[in-house]
Amino acid sequence: MNIPANTIQAVKADTKIHSELKTEFLKRYFRVVHGLFAVLLLIQFLPDKLTTETYVSYVIWFAVGVEIFTLILSGFIKKTASLNLFTDIVGFIYGLLIAWTLATAKFNLLKAALFPPPGKVFWQFISDYDKILVNIQSSVGIILQGYLLALAVAIPLGLFLGWSARLGSAATYISKFLGAIPPIVYIPYGIALLPTFRSVSVFVIFLATFWPVLAGTMSGVMNVEKKTIDSAKVLNVGKFTMMFSVILPASLQQIFIGCNQGLTVSFVLLTSAEMIGAQSGLGYYIKNYSDFGDYTRTIVGLIVVGIVIVIISFIFNSIQKYLLRWKQ
Partner 1 sequence: MSKIEINHLTVDYTEKKKSFTALKDVSFSIEEGEFVSVIGSSGCGKSTLLSILEGINTPTDGEILINGEKIKGTGTDRGVVFQHYSLFPWMTARKNVAFGIKQVNHSASRSERYKIADEFLDKVGLEQFKNKYPSQLSGGMQQRVAIARALAMDTDILLMDEPFGAIDAKNRTILQELLLELWENATPRKTVVFVTHDIDESILLSDKIVMMTANPGRVYRELKVPFERPRNRAELVQTKEYNKFRNHLLSLFYSDIADKIGGEEVVL
Neighbours of 324 (CB within 10 A): 12
Which of 10, 17, 181, 235 binds partner 1 (CB under 8 A)? It is 235
Tell me the window of 47-55, 83-91, 178-186, 231-239 that interacts with partner 1 (CB under 8 A). Answer: 231-239
Q: Is residue 19 near partner 1 by the rule CB under 8 A?
A: no
Which of 7, 236, 240, 322 binds partner 1 (CB under 8 A)? It is 236
Three-state DSSP state, 116? coil
Which one, of 22, 25, 28, 32, lies nearest residue 74 by Cα?
A: 28
Q: Is residue 239 near partner 1 by the rule CB under 8 A?
A: no
Which of 15, 52, 245, 279 binds partner 1 (CB under 8 A)? It is 245
Q: Is residue 33 near partner 1 by the rule CB under 8 A?
A: no
**Cβ proximity of 304 and 136 under 8 Å:** yes
In the bound state with partner 1, the residue whose beta carbon lies nearer, of 83 and 252, is 252
Which of 18, 79, 166, 227 binds partner 1 (CB under 8 A)? It is 227
Tell me the window of 192-200, 240-248, 276-284, 285-293 that interacts with partner 1 (CB under 8 A). Answer: 240-248
Q: Is residue 246 near partner 1 by the rule CB under 8 A?
A: yes
Which of 228, 279, 317, 318 binds partner 1 (CB under 8 A)? It is 228
Which residues in 32-43 are b (16+ Cβ under 10 Å) and which e? ebbebbeebbeb
- Which residues 6+ apart lie within 8 Å of 205 measured at CB? 142, 143, 145, 146, 147, 150, 266, 269, 270, 273
Judged by CB under 8 A, how many residues of this single chain contact partner 1? 20
CB of 223 to partner 1, least distance (A): 14
Q: Is residue 126 near partner 1 by the rule CB under 8 A?
A: no
DSSP string, 6-71: HHHHHHHHHHHHHHHHHHHHHHHH--HHHHHHHHHHHHTTSPP--SS---HHHHHHHHHHHHHHHH
Which spans of this chain sit near partner 1 (rule: CB under 8 A)? Answer: 227-228, 230-237, 241, 245-246, 249-250, 252, 325-328
